[in-house]
Amino acid sequence: MDKINETTIAEHDVDKTQAIADQFHYVINTVTDTLSDRITDLNQQVRQLAPRAVPNGKERTYILIVEEVNEDEQLEEQQEDQITIRIRRINRKDLRPAKIERYRRESLLFIDNLPIAMTINEKIKETLQQRQDVKIWSTHYTFPEDQLDFIIDIIQATINTERAH
């Protein structure tokens, strides 16, 4: 409402001897300036809210699990010398402690205390897409079985690089 009042005041402050086009530009400039100031204020408020978007203590509650896909879930066209892995990112609070320990023991790679951001998942996918021998379908990655250790090392290196930034 204040902005409307300022605009009305700007209209009344205009000199009656000015051309209508000049008056129009004066009013438009005044309105544009007030709206620009309002946008700047709102942007500042959003920037101040951003750090609070994730509750304290919950910034790093995700785990990343790399697990081999069992034969029932594998794609029909997969060749015998190929292996399929699934990369999952799970919120720690959604799992019971026993389930977390099972993932820790049974998964090919288990990374704890990941940030809430999905950046790591995207970086892993980008890194593995560059390889000719890796086929990607959603969170499933199929590649020659003899490359498993190398792929796990690539995933680990990608995570370490992202954590450092």
Q: pTM value?
A: 0.60
Q: Would the pLDDT of 68 be above 60?
A: yes
DSSP state of 49: H
Mean pLDDT estimate for the chain: 82
- Compute the chain's Rg from CA coordinates: 28
Positive or negative: CA dihedral 130, 135, 141, 144: negative
The C-alpha atoms of residue 8 and residue 42 are separated, in whole angstroms, by 23
- Which tens digits make up the pLDDT trace of 71-85? 665 555 556 789 999
- Which tens digits make up the pLDDT trace of 84-109? 999 998 888 888 999 999 999 999 99
Task: Enter the tokens of residue 108.
Answer: 């090919």
Q: Tell me what pLDDT residue 127 has.
A: 92
Domain boundaries along the sequence of the chain: 2-52, 62-164
Q: Would the pLDDT of 58 be above 70?
A: no
Nearest residue to 126 (alpha-carbon basis) of 136, 116, 117: 136
